[in-house]
Amino acid sequence: MTTGTNHFPTPIFQHDVPGFEALNERLYGLAKRLQAEDPNGVRRSNYGGWHSAETVDIRELLEFAELKQVIMNEAAFVSAGMGFEGLGLVLSKPWFVVSPAGAMNARHCHPRSFLSGAYYVKVPPGSSPLCFHDPRPVKLHATPASPQFKTTPYTTESLNCQIREGLLVLFPAWLDHSVPPHQAEGERVVLSFNLAAV
Ligand SMILES: [Fe+2]
């Protein structure tokens, strides 16, 4: 008899926020207001898109209050599920990324945080997914080039998380991710954030 077990999992949590339409309308209005006030934004992992500056503390804004509660509740829930029951979590300053056609985000992770997350405000049909990358680069040194190669959780090097409006995604801050060039005509609007453990 042969037995196999899986270890060292990499969790990616998804939560659809009920009644997101009104929330997203407020957040979209906020994103566009901040973009109008600071059209240049800042450059981080974004290429071609607008990224809000850290000078604005979105945590303090009324439009964000409802989502902040959802994020903190979900973060506590998933942390407990990972074995960190009752962990103290502090939300860092969130930021918006507004991506027109052709914009992308290079592969990166978020050092010095525990969890990272993204909440989707505008997702026109055909929007780019959120792409996660296998955090085990050592695997690349010994992956056989088999003609019978199949894409399975054991062989894949990346995972496309299909996004939709109202979706909240939480993942370990150390997990590399990227956004391929946005192909849709309308803008893709996401609010991202980090949570530190205290
Ligand atoms: Fe990121």
pTM to 2 decimal places? 0.95
Whether the pLDDT of residue 148 is over 90: the answer is no
Q: Which of 28-37, 77-86, 149-158, 179-188 has the lowest mean pLDDT?
A: 149-158
From ligand 1's centre to the CA of 61, what distance in Å?
Answer: 22
In a domain, 6, yes or no: no
The beta strand positions in 6-77, using DSSP E, are 13-16, 46-47, 50-51
- Quote the number of domains for the chain: 1
* Domain that includes residue 175, residue range: 13-197
Task: Encode pLDDT of 92-122 as tens digits.
Answer: 999 999 999 999 999 999 999 999 999 999 9
- Between the CA of 144 and the centroid of ligand 1 the distance, in Å, is 31
Q: Is residue 111 part of a domain?
A: yes
Query: What CATH number is associated with residue 29?
Result: 2.60.120.620
Distance 146 CA to ligand 1 centre (A): 33
Nearest of 148, 184, 149 to residue 164 by alpha carbon: 184
Query: What's the order of all strands across the beta sheet hosting 177-179?
Result: 46-47, 104-108, 177-179, 130-133, 158-161
Q: Please check whether residue 48 lies inside any domain of the structure.
A: yes
Residues 141-161 have a mean pLDDT of: 82
Range 86-93 average pLDDT: 97
134 located within any domain: yes
Residue 1: inside a domain:
no
Token couple for 26: 């407020």
